[in-house]
Homo-oligomer: A and B are copies of this chain.
Amino acid sequence: MKDDDRRVGVWFVGARGSVATTAVVGALAIRAGLAEPVGLVTETPDFSDLDLPSLDQLVFGGHDIAQTPLAKRAEELADAGVMPRDVVTAIRDELVGVEGRLRVGAAPGDRRPQGEAAAELASDIAHFTEENRLDRVVVVNVSSTEPPVAARPAHDSLPALELALKTEADVLPTSSLYAYAALRAGASFVDFTPSTGMRLPALAELADANALPYAGRDGKTGQTLLRTALAPMFTSRALRVLSWSGANLLGGGDGATLADPEAAASKTASKQRGLSAMLGQEVAGATHIDYVADMGEWKTAWDHVRFEGFLGTRMTMQVTWQGCDSTLAAPLVLDLVRLTACAHEAGARGDLASLGFFFKDPLGGEHRLAEQYARLKDWAGGL
């Protein structure tokens, strides 16, 4: 029997961004019968036996430092072809309702000890939980990608971290500060970006101490999705991949962030590592990420794979993927929220490695899409 009185909070870090806006609009549209649940894995028959929180039971809120109202962002996205204008108009009032639950996030350049900022963020989440009488809250980081961060001793143990937070202003990268605040507020956490977030031993310790689950890292929405479907084909057919090269053209906020060479370097290195893991060998080739303003919310990925078959003959595969990033990401965010909340309810704690299906950089190292899906189904069956 499904629990019909549950109320689950979804707290976005980056609540006014394209992904969060699309997720909110989509959830509201589907529950109003204005859209079909296309793209929602948790609405497919394989997950129908699971006692997941329904879309009706989700309550949205979040942090952001941007000021554009959510309804305005939704209209901008409609103009960019990401969602139908009519749907945005129809749910305008509900968007205004969500707007009332958004709070100003962690300000860059804040020179106070980070413990103070963390306390404020945690207090926002706690207030959200109480005021909306929520059974539990999932915090999801969908804010812009950070550059890679240098390791510090304070990252390695919870006591060291707590001590540093009391006096220093730059202990944690912002994504990890939010993760810390979430755990402190009793919320589970989903790392939807490649930023550091939960990936610090001190935070794993805290999650364990507070018996909270978390999932991550970096939503798998485009080129990597394709690669994890295609690379196993070569492996299972004993074809030797010689090089896997690629280009990514993207506009939007993420595009500008990733055009930063340091952030791009971190993202591309992670891509090549995943490929090598699946192919069981080092594979040559580079993948570029270019910011092309006119692409807006759209993303084009080109892949060029050279491989060797029987008797050394060389062949080629090329793929072009033209996707809308927010459209692809938003339903995964909702899937992750529902599954993480359900796991939390079931008593899971620590990293939810079985959710690797959703991530570019999963814990546990299984990158192959079909295997990840099989594992997800098994895990869901066991909940």
Stoichiometry, as copies per complex, reads 4
**What separation, in Å, do the CA atoms of A176 and B322 have in the docked complex?**
42
Tell me, yes or no, whether A346 is within 8 Å of chain B by CB: no
Nearest opposing residue in chain B for A259, CB measure? B286
**0 or 1 for each of A243-258: is its CB under 8 Å from B? (1 = yes):** 1011101000000000
Tell me, yes or no, whether A347 is within 8 Å of chain B by CB: no
B84 to A245, Cβ gap below 8 A? Answer: no
Instruction: Determine which of B243, B315, B373 lies in contact with A292 in the assembled complex, contact meaning CB atoms within 8 Å.
Output: B243
Instruction: Determine which of B230, B242, B292 lies in contact with A284 in the assembled complex, contact meaning CB atoms within 8 Å.
Output: B292
A328 to B314, Cβ gap below 8 A? Answer: no
Tell me, yes or no, whether A44 is within 8 Å of chain B by CB: yes
Instruction: Determine which of B43, B315, B330, B368 lies in contact with A322 in the assembled complex, contact meaning CB atoms within 8 Å.
Output: B315
Residues of B within 8 A of A37 (CB): 238
B315 to A327, Cβ gap below 8 A? Answer: yes
A43 touching B238 in the complex, CB below 8 Å, given contacts A243-B292, A300-B304: yes
Instruction: List residues of A whose CB falls within 8 A of some B CB.
Output: 22, 25-26, 29, 35-41, 43-44, 79, 81-85, 87, 225-226, 229-230, 232-233, 236-240, 242-243, 245-247, 249, 284-286, 288, 290, 292-295, 300, 302, 304, 306, 308-324, 327-328, 330-331, 357, 368-371, 373-374
Q: List 25 A-B contacts (CB under 8 A).
A: A22-B310, A26-B310, A36-B312, A39-B239, A39-B309, A43-B238, A44-B238, A81-B81, A82-B313, A83-B312, A229-B230, A232-B369, A236-B373, A243-B293, A245-B247, A245-B292, A247-B304, A294-B306, A309-B327, A311-B330, A313-B327, A315-B328, A318-B320, A320-B320, A374-B374
List 13 additional contacts besides A26-B310, A284-B294; criterion CB under 8 Å: A38-B310, A39-B237, A39-B238, A39-B310, A247-B304, A285-B290, A285-B292, A294-B306, A300-B304, A315-B328, A316-B322, A317-B321, A318-B320
